[in-house]
Each structure stands twice: as C-alpha cells, then as structure tokens.
C-alpha cells in the first residue's frame, strides 16, 4: 500500500521539530519566570465533557471515538432504523478528542480542586483536534499554548500576562502591538447609548470595524435595530484615542467607568516594566468569544515594523467569570492568554528569525576508510560523547565522498576522518566542511576544540 | 455535571509533569549526543495504515474515529442490517489513533524518503492509545519513547544503542542489566536440533523460561511436538553462560554462528565505552515480537542492587529487516530501542531517585500587607524577573498567614514581605520559609542572593 497522511494532519521532520521547540521553549521560559506551572490533560475526554461547550458549530467539529467491541449492541435502535447519524453518534461513541485546552482545564480544576493551590497559575501546550475542512494553514490537529490563572480577580494577573506577551515576542524578535480593551467598557458604551439589550449585537458589529470600516459598522448597527443617532454616538466613542477620553461618556457608578478604572490599573502596573511600551488601548477590540467579562487582549504584528506580512492575531485572551460553572464550581474568576504557535512559526520563518543554531546537529561525523579504521573512529566518537559532545559515526567505511555527503546533508560542520595513518599515529584528520580546511588533531586537542565550539 | 476523567486516562499535575520531563529530558540529551533527531507524527492515522499491523488482538484495541457529518450515508448497508459492528466500523470510521510509534515511523520513512538522509537516526516521544481494559499501571493513553536507525545493517548501531541504554540509566541512577541476544542464535538452536520448521514454537517456549523454569519449558516443547531428545539438547544450549560456548553446537556457515559473530562484534565495540559493564549475553532472551531478525535487547533492573522492586522490563528492542515493506519499500534494515517511560517513573518514585530540585518552583513569592505596598511588591517582582529569576506575586494584600500558606503549599523557599516600612525604605523583608529566618534586603542584594541560589 502507498503510505498516506490524513488530510489536515502533518508529520514534523527534525528541522521543524527544532524550530517548534525553540518557540515553545521560549514561551515556557517566560511562563516559568512568572510562576506558571505546566499541566497536561488526556487527548480523550468524555463526550459529555466536551459537548455543548463550543456551540452547535463546535459540536459538529468534535472528533468522536467509536466505542470498542460490539458497539451496535447498545446503539440507539430508533436512530439506526431511521439512519439518523447525529442521534446514533451519542449511543456508539462516548469519547471525543480534545477540541481546545480551556474546557479540559476547567474540568481539571474542578476535579483536582483539593490538590491544587489557588490562585492556580497553569500553562498547557498540547495538540487539539477539530474536524474543520483542511486548507492552507488550517489543520485538523494543531497545538495550542495557553496560560491561565483561576481563583482571583486581581488585576495583577492582567499586568503579568501583558508582560508575558511582551517578553515572549521580544525574545522571539517579533515586534507586536499588545492591544487591550475591557468588556465592561464595551458594555458601558451600550449603557451610555441605552441599548443594553442589544449589547451582543453591538459587540459583533464593533468586532468587524477593522474589516468593514466605520461605514460598514454603522450599516450593520442599523440593520440590527439600532437607531442612526445611537449608531453615531457609538462611533464617536469608538473614535477615542485613549481609555481616558471615555470617562466623559460614562456615568458615575456605571459599568463603563469600572472598565476604564480596570484598564487604568493594568497600565499603572505595567508601567513598572519599563520595556512594556507596546501595550495599547484599543476601544474597537471586542473579540468574538462571549465568555469574556473583563479585560480582553489581542496581539498583532506591529505593521510599521513588519509591513511585509499579512497575518491575523498571533495571541489573544481575556478575563472570564464562570469557567468552571458547568462542572459545578461557580464563581471562580480567571484570566488567560493564548499564543498562536502555528502562526508564530510562519512569521518567524517568513522573517527569517529562527536563530542560526536552532537545529540540533551533531558537532562531528566520524568517518573511516576501512574496517580496521572504523574501530578507532568509533572509539574517538565514544570518547567525545563522554565529554558531552554530540557525535555521529558513519557506519560504512570506504570512499569519503558518500560519507562527506551524509555529513553535508545533515549540515554537520566537521568530518573526523580516520585511515591507516591516523590509526597508527592515534590522530584524527579534522575537515571543516564549511571552509574545506583539514588538519590533524589528537584526541585531547580535538576534544578541546569541539568543547569550545559548543 | 460532575467532572470526570475517562477510565484509563490521566491528568498530569505540575509535580508529575516536572518528573516526567526530567525522565524525557535525560533520555533526549543522550539521544542527541548519539546524533538521533526528533520527529513527530500525527495522533490520527488512516485506519488503512494501522489495520493488520498488530495482529487480530491489536486490531481490536485500535481506537477508531467516527467519520464526521452524516457518516451513515456511506455506511455498509449489509453490516447495518445484520447489526455487525465489526463490518460496519470500517465503513463509518476511516481514522484511528496511533497504537505505537513504530508503524507511523515506517509510514513516515517511506513518505519522506526523499527528504531524509539515510542511515536515518530518529527518536520520537509521543502518546499512543490502546483500548486495553484499564487496570493498575495500564492506561489507554500513555507515552512511548523510541530511538531507531533505518537504512543500515551496521552493528555500530547495536553498540550505540547499548551505550544509550547504559548512559540513560546511569544518569537516572538506576542499576540495570542490559541483556542482549540474537534471533539468529535462537534460529541456530533450532537448526542445531533440526527443528527449523518449529522455530516459532520453540521461541515462544524459550521466552517463558524465566517464568516457568526449565521443566516448564521442556513440557511446553514436548506439547509443541518436539521430541524429548531435542528438548534436552535445546535446554543444554540454553544453559550456556556466554555466547562463546554456543560455537561448539553450531556448524560452519550456520545462522547460529552468524549470530554469535554479531554478538561478538557488539561486545567488541562496546568495550570501547569503559563504563559499559552491564551488557550481558542472555541466551534465553527471545522477546515475543516476531519481526526481530538480528540482535535483541531487553533492560531489567539489576536485582542485586534493587532487590526491593518487582518490575518487568523497562526497555527493549532489536533489529528488524522489513519495517517499511508493507508500505512498498522493502529491504530496509533497521534497529531500535524503546524506553518504558511509565515504568521508569514508578521505579524512580519507589527508589526516591528524583532529584530534590526536579520541580520548577518560583524562587520567591512577593507579599504585601496593604494595597499601597502591593505596587512596590509587584515592582520588586518585575525587577527580579528581569534578572531571570522566577517570581510569584500574591495578588491579595492583607494578613500574612494566608499568603505564607500559599507559598508553603507551593514549596517556595522565600517570602518577600512588603509593608509600609519596606515601601518607605525601599527594602524587602526576606523570610526563609524553611529556616524561619527573616532579614531586610535592598533590591540589589536580594537579586544577588536569589541569582546565587539558582
């Protein structure tokens, strides 16, 4: 049979693994500095845990795992007779694949509430699965990378998460805008206009401002039953340059003012980190997800620095108030952020920002001219490995051409060449495969050289 | 709803993650020193790739993923009518979860044969899924950790893999026996007795020697149609103490002699690594898997050093000749080993061998008495983080008791306490939560102290 890869899935070759690990390690290092601890949850969750959490669309995109054994024995007879796939599925599949990291995390927090310390700061880097139609840049199996704190409503955490974004992207060499807004401010706008009942309609329209412009939003607001006068006031508020300006529109004690105060606190705390000059208030930032209740974050490339790249957001998050409610633990406030690792990979690739030494190569490939020489070549290799140096040994003695090609294909810098003469004199002919230079070393001087280059 | 975890699956809490990573990092470091490169394959493979590769039992244990959408539309009508689950499955599920790392690796090698360099040395550390009945120590989702070389029949690689086993377990502090045998020797035994046609029967019986003893094996051999005289000769050969002794039983040009020569070469090459004194020839080692064709490895705890632990093998592997044959690429020889990571975890736990600092803790938790102090506490935290120190900041100012308990629960060593006085004098009261000592520091001296302790 011909080997095949399922559509929407990928193999990762060594070079890709090295680059992916570079991204994840950079992020993890910062997470740890901010005292976030890693957890993992299983790929398989009960479908009862996952169903109904992602809307009707999400439910359709869940991968369901067929029960093992004679699964038809307990199948829904009616669904079978009427050939109703949807109704049948729940009777023949009780497991599903993780669709995101958030719902399993909520399940985890409730299940382990007596084993963890609140506020609980966790990060999680694991694949998720979605039965989306595969297309360029959209996979059915991809990694998510989340950090969340649950069990506190302190704005300290908003400031920490903004700093984490800042530090990670700085370390990766990507210039970004970290946009912040607050759901309470968005609600305050609805409040100020007197359309609290149309808050979600308004938010959905605002969310499209970047795409369809002010005129487009106005049109959409009118279509959603908001008057022209109300729409005008909304657009006026959306044109402010800072959260401070919004105070003029909001009444004492309003949600809107609370939102402004929260943003002010986050900016105040963030000033501490002198490097954090790219946290920017953006009144237009709404994000589609309806479960946010406080601050909202989104990270985008700084268009002035990276004008050549068109790329959606590479990070996002916010505060939510009821993550664990559906698992019987209401009232737990949390805030979290997510890194779009797959997109970050593409950005680093496009900007050529992966470090030159990102790929783990052996320092040297040992090569032998004949069987007798191979033993000394192998011995040298083992001695170097004992010193912590990564060594490859070409297994088939003989002509050098093939062996040099092997080393060059793997982008290894040095060839350690062994023939009769080297065995007799206990030396190694070291060839630099970049410069072409060749020189004799003994084991001691070779070890020294390779250790210095590490 | 009550949160639930599927039977046979596990959540990993931060402490478990740290310990698991310690094991994987230790193994990876050695893999890299021997120039093995990491790859990853998707969790979901085409069922056509997985089916028929693990025998009938294995096929039953594959987790199959229900096709999305109206899967009944293309369902096998006959199977539906006759309520035949087995026949129906293949028409409503085209995807399955990875059952091991070997078959996906074979599929990977054939698919990417033009992108990789042979001999291809790869390692892979990923979860696999099996619908086994869950029980203590047996999970439906667990990690495998494999290193293989394909595209060469050189015994250099057997020697390297033995060294990898040696170095990893030495680094973990576990004393092990690395047992080696060769399928050709086992075949040679059958050859010497004249029962080549009963080779598999004989191997299956030999495999049980440790469990059922010589009498048991003899009985089983007789049951499988081997004569008493033949069984006696087999048991005589099984009683040798070294591979050298077997030469007396094998004819010139026999498979048996080839096997002995291979073992000799591996020992010869392994002598190079002076530490490798735990590679032991074991004529009884057969391993159940029938696809091995050359050397076979198995790693077990050294019973003299660790008599208190009863544990099966914690590693195993061997050479195979036709890994990729079923994907249309015959004749590719390979050799690989596997680490039983889940069992190694249990051994390290039982022997208390995880290093004391295995768990990534923040160096310090910053605490404040009141809202005014929190800002200075947060500032100090950020300044320490800028120096690469892992810091947690307790978000709710107030009584110390709760804050100290938080730090103690997370096993953090220091509390950085900030009150009015500290804000005024720009100092930090540092409390060592182990000794109880408390002393005032300024930011500079505190940074110095915490950097030294890293």
Structural domain boundaries of chain B?
A: 14-62+99-350, 361-452
Per DSSP, the three-state class of A364 is: strand
pLDDT for B289 equals: 58
Instruction: State the nearest Cα–Cα gap between B264 and chain A, in angstroms.
Output: 14
The total of other beta-carbon atoms located within 10 Å of residue A307's CB is 9
Across the A:B interface, residue pairs with CB atoms under 8 Å apart total 270
Select from B2, B9, B110 the Cβ nearest to the Cβ of A44.
Answer: B9
Contact A11 B112 (CB under 8 A): yes
- What pLDDT does B190 receive? 95
Min Cα separation B327/chain A (Å):
5
> Closest-CA residue in chain A for B38?
A14
Residue A192 has which token pair? 């100020």
- Nearest Cα of chain B lies from the Cα of A377 at a distance, in angstroms, of 11
B121 - beta bridge partners? B149
For residue A48, which residues of chain B lie inside 8 Å, CB to CB?
A: 1, 4
How far apart are the two ends of chain A, measured CA to CA in Å?
44
Q: Is B368 on the interface with A (CB under 8 A)?
A: no
Q: Compute the nearest-CA separation of A404 from chain B (Å).
A: 12
Which pairs count as long-range contacts for B198-204, CB under 8 Å and 24+ apart, including other chains?
B198/B224, B198/B225, B198/B226, B200/B290, B201/B225, B201/B226, B202/B226, B202/B234, B203/B286, B204/B286, B204/B288
Residue A288, pLDDT score: 72
CB of A110 within 8 Å of any CB in chain B?
A: yes
Among A71, A362, A382, the residue with its CB nearest the CB of B85 is: A71
Q: How far is CA B99 from CA A65, B53, B56, B122, in A?
A: 14, 10, 13, 18
Which element (helix H / strand E) includes A179? strand A176-182
**Which is nearest to A120 in space by CA: A153, A151, A163, A155?**
A151
C-beta separation of A441 from A405 below 8 A: no
| Interface test mutation site (partner B, options A37, A142, A374, max chain B beta carbons within 10 A) | A37
**Average pLDDT taken over every residue of chain A:** 95
Percent of chain A with pLDDT over 90: 90
A1: nearest CB among B1, B108, B328: B328
Please identify among residues 111-170 of chain B the ones whose CB lies closer than 8 Å to any CB of chain A: 111-112, 115-117, 119, 121-122, 127, 129, 131, 140-141, 152, 154, 156-157, 159-160, 163
**DSSP string covering B35-52:** T-EE-B--SEEEHHHHTT
pLDDT score of B273: 72
Q: Which residues of chain A neighbour B12 with C-beta distances below 8 Å? A: 39-41
Q: Is the pLDDT of residue A173 over 90?
A: yes
Q: Which chain A residue has the Cα nearest residue B405? A: A117
Whether chain B has a CB inside 8 Å of the CB on A80: the answer is yes
Instruction: Report residue A323's pLDDT band, with 50, 70 and 90 as the boundaries.
Output: confident
Instruction: Record the pTM.
Output: 0.96
Residue matched to tokens 């059958």: B190
Reduced to 3 states (helix: H, G, I; strand: E, B; else coil), residue B436 is coil
Asked if the Cβ–Cβ distance from A11 to B39 is below 8 Å, we say yes
The reply to whether residue B73 touches residue A95, judged by beta carbons under 8 angstroms, is no
The yes/no answer to whether this complex scores an ipTM above 0.90 is: yes
d(CA B206, CA B190): 11
CATH annotation of A361-452:
3.40.50.800
Q: What is the mean pLDDT of residues A216-225?
A: 94
To the question of domain B14-62+99-350 being in CATH 3.30.930.10, the answer is yes
Query: Cβ separation of A3 and B73 shorter than 8 Å?
Result: no
Task: Say how far apart CA B333 and CA A165 lie, in whole Å.
Answer: 47
With beta carbons under 8 A apart, name residues in chain A contacting B71.
Answer: 85, 89
Where do we find the tokens 């100090």?
Answer: B380
* Within this chain, domains A14-62+99-350 and A361-452 share the same CATH topology: no
Beta carbons of A362 and A412 less than 8 angstroms apart:
yes
User: By C-alpha distance, which of B37, B28, B30 is closest to B121?
Assistant: B37
Residues B47 and B63: their CA atoms lie apart, in Å, by: 9
Tell me how far CA of residue B5 lies from CA of A109, A324, B9, B389, in angstroms: 12, 15, 7, 36
Q: Determine the pLDDT at residue A290.
A: 66
Residues of A with Cβ-Cβ distance to B48 under 8 angstroms? 1, 4
Question: What's the pLDDT tens digit per position in A109-155?
Answer: 999 999 999 999 999 999 999 999 999 889 999 999 999 999 999 99
Which of A37, A41, A395 is closest, CB to CB, to B152? Answer: A395
Please calculate the CA angle A91-B138-B180 and round it to the nearest 5 degrees: 140
**Burial (CB count within 10 angstroms: exposed 0-12, middle 13-18, buried 19+), residue B176:** buried
* pLDDT surpasses 90 at A412: yes
| DSSP state, residue A385 | H
* A347: pLDDT strictly greater than 80: yes
Q: What is the mean pLDDT of residues A240-269?
A: 96
Chain B window 252-281: which residues touch A at a Cβ cutoff of 8 Å? 268-269, 272-273
Number of C-beta neighbours around residue A111 at 10 A: 19
Q: What is the distance in angstroms between the Cα of A405 and the nearest Cα belonging to chain B?
A: 10
Cβ-defined contact of B33 to A160 (cutoff 8 Å): no
Q: Please indicate whether, in this complex, the C-beta atoms of B65 and A60 are within 8 angstroms of each other.
A: no
In this prediction, residue A291 carries a pLDDT of: 80
Asked if B314 contacts B176 with a C-beta cutoff of 8 angstroms, the reply is yes
Single out the residue of B64, B36, B32 nearest to residue B51, CA to CA: B64
List the single residue in B18, B65, B108 with the smallest CB-CB distance to A63.
B65
CB B295 within 8 A of CB B180: yes
The string of pLDDT tens digits covering residues A57-103 is 999 999 999 999 999 999 999 999 999 999 999 999 999 999 999 99
Chain B residues near residue A160 by CB distance under 8 angstroms: 393
Which of B93, B112, B163 minimises the CB distance to A66? B93
Question: How would you write B286-319 as a 3-class SS string?
Answer: CCCCCCEEEEEEEEEECCCCCCCCCCCCCEEEEE
Taking CB atoms and an 8 Å limit, are A374 and B95 in contact across chains? no
Q: From first to last of the 454 residues of chain B, give the pLDDT tens digit.
A: 789 999 999 999 999 999 999 999 999 999 999 999 999 999 999 999 999 999 899 999 999 999 999 999 999 999 999 999 999 999 999 999 999 999 999 999 999 999 999 999 999 999 999 999 999 889 999 999 999 999 999 999 999 999 999 999 999 999 999 999 999 999 999 999 999 999 989 998 998 888 899 999 999 999 999 999 999 999 999 999 999 999 999 999 999 999 999 999 999 999 887 678 899 999 999 887 568 999 999 999 999 999 999 898 999 999 998 889 999 999 999 999 999 999 999 999 999 999 999 998 999 999 999 999 999 999 999 999 999 999 999 999 999 999 999 999 999 999 999 999 999 999 999 999 999 999 999 999 999 999 998 7
Closest residue of B to A379, CA-based?
A: B272
Can you list the alpha helix ranges (DSSP code H) found in A173-227? Answer: 183-193, 199-206, 209-223
C-alpha A141/C-alpha A100 separation (Å) is 11
Q: How far is CA A297 from CA A131, A174, A289, A338, in A?
A: 27, 17, 12, 10
Owner of token pair 């020797």: B185
């Amino acid at each position: 049979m011909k080997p095949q890869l399922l559509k929407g899935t990928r193999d990762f070759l060594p070079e890709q693994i090295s680059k992916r690990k570079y991204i994840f390690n950079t992020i993890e290092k910062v997470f740890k500095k901010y005292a976030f601890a890693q957890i993992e949850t299983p790929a398989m969750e009960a479908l009862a845990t996952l169903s109904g959490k992602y809307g009707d669309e999400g439910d359709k995109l869940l991968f369901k795992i067929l029960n093992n054994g004679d699964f038809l024995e307990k199948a829904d007879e009616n669904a079978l007779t009427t050939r109703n796939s949807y109704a049948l599925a729940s009777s023949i599949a009780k497991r599903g694949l993780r669709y995101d990291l958030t719902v399993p995390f909520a399940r985890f927090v409730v299940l382990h509430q007596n084993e963890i310390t609140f506020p609980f700061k966790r990060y999680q880097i694991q694949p998720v699965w979605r039965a989306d139609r595969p297309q360029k840049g959209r996979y059915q199996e991809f990694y998510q990378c989340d950090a969340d704190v649950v069990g506190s409503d302190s704005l300290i955490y908003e400031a920490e998460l903004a700093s984490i974004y800042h530090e990670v992207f700085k370390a990766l060499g990507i210039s970004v805008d970290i946009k912040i807004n607050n759901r309470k401010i968005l609600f305050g706008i609805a409040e100020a206009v007197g359309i609290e009942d149309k808050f979600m309609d308004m938010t959905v329209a605002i969310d499209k401002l970047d795409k369809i412009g002010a005129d487009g939003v106005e049109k959409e607001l009118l279509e959603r039953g908001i008057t022209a006068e109300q729409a005008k006031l909304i657009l006026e508020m959306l044109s402010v340059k800072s959260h401070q300006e919004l105070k003029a529109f909001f009444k004492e004690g309003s949600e809107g003012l609370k939102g402004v105060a929260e943003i002010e606190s986050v900016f105040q705390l963030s000033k501490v980190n002198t490097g954090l000059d790219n946290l920017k208030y953006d009144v237009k930032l709404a994000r589609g997800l309806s479960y946010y209740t406080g601050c909202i974050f989104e990270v985008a490339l700084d268009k002035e620095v990276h004008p050549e790249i068109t790329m959606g957001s590479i990070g996002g998050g916010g505060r939510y108030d009821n993550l664990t409610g559906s698992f019987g633990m209401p009232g737990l406030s949390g805030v979290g952020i997510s890194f779009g690792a797959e997109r970050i990979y593409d950005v680093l690739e496009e900007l050529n920002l992966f470090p030159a030494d990102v790929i783990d190569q052996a320092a040297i490939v040992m090569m032998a001219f004949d069987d007798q020489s191979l033993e000394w070549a192998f011995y040298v290799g083992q001695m170097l490995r004992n010193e912590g140096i990564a060594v490859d040994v070409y297994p088939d003695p003989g002509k050098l051409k093939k062996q040099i090609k092997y080393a060059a294909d793997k982008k290894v810098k040095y060839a350690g060449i062994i023939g009769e003469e080297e065995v007799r004199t206990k030396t190694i002919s070291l060839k630099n495969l970049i410069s072409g230079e060749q020189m004799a070393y003994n084991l001691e001087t070779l070890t020294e050289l390779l250790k210095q280059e590490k």
